[in-house]
Amino acid sequence: MAFGDPFTDDAWIEVVTTAAAPIEYLTSVRSAVMFETEPPRDAGTYRRIVAAATEPATRHAEIIVDGTRRMFGIWRDEPLGHGRPRGWHGLLDGTPGVVITCSGLEPGELNLHRVTEIDPLLEGTREHAASMR
């Protein structure tokens, strides 16, 4: 789920839950952004970018998830894509895993709650899509 627009808002967040290993998803995201900002010109550049994308978290921070403080690995001061401000990634390893991409907010400011019924959240989106037909 995403809240805010990474191209226009001062603060935005994207939260992804995954049944697979969340580190694999995060490594893919980090690699894609690094390839975007520095396309690999040769095998050496490619290996260097992949190695950088697989580096471990630079710190840890508590983020509240469903009322419980959980310890996330945090990658600070990360490029988040072309045209986006720098921000950070957070990872909660487990099942399900949680991967956060965020800019303009600090980890300690977050209070995440599980969403099990998405229809109320999509209502406005569906109405807007229907009006565009």
The per-residue pLDDT of the chain, averaged, comes to 89
Q: Is residue 34 part of a domain?
A: no
Check residue 126 and give its pLDDT. Answer: 64
Q: What is the pTM of this model?
A: 0.83
Domain of 77 in residue numbering reads as 2-20+57-131
Domain count for the chain, please give it.
Answer: 1
Between residues 19 and 123, which one has the greater pLDDT? 19
pLDDT tens digits, one per residue of 20-69: 889 999 999 999 999 998 888 899 999 999 999 999 999 999 999 999 99
121: pLDDT confidence band, cut at 50, 70 and 90?
A: low
Question: Residue-wise over 65-92: b if at least 16 C-beta within 10 A, else e?
Answer: beeeeeebbbbeebebbeeeeebbbbbb
Q: Is residue 118 part of a domain?
A: yes
Bridge partners (DSSP) of residue 88 are 102
Check residue 67 and give its pLDDT. Answer: 94
Check residue 11 and give its pLDDT. Answer: 94
Q: Is residue 40 part of a domain?
A: no
Q: Is residue 87 part of a domain?
A: yes
Q: Is residue 68 part of a domain?
A: yes
Q: Is residue 25 part of a domain?
A: no
Q: Is residue 91 part of a domain?
A: yes
